[in-house]
Amino acid sequence: MPRRLTHTCVYVLDQESAKDFYTRRLGFEVRSDVMMGGEFEGAGRGFRWLTVGPADQPDVELILADVAMGHDARTSDQLRDLIAKGTFSAGSLATDDCRGDFERLRADGVEFLQEPMERPYGIEAVFRDDSGNWFSLNQMYG
Q: Domain range spanning residue 66?
A: 1-85
Let me know: does 48 contact 15? Beta carbons within 8 Å. Answer: yes
140 and 122 assigned to the same domain: yes
DSSP 96-126: S-HHHHHHHHHHTT-EEEEEEEEETTEEEEE
In the predicted structure, residue 85 carries a pLDDT above the cut 80:
yes
59 and 14 assigned to the same domain: yes
3-state secondary structure at position 82: helix
Burial class (CB in 10 A: 0-12, 13-18, 19+), 12: buried
pTM beyond cutoff 0.85: yes
- Cα–Cα distance, 3 to 102 (Å, whole number): 33
Average pLDDT of span 58-80: 94
Best-predicted range by mean pLDDT (1-5, 68-72, 120-124)? 120-124
pLDDT digits (tens, 9 = 90+) for 24-61: 999 999 999 999 876 555 555 678 999 999 999 999 99
Q: Which of 6-15, 40-49, 68-77 has the lowest mean pLDDT?
A: 40-49
41 and 10 assigned to the same domain: yes
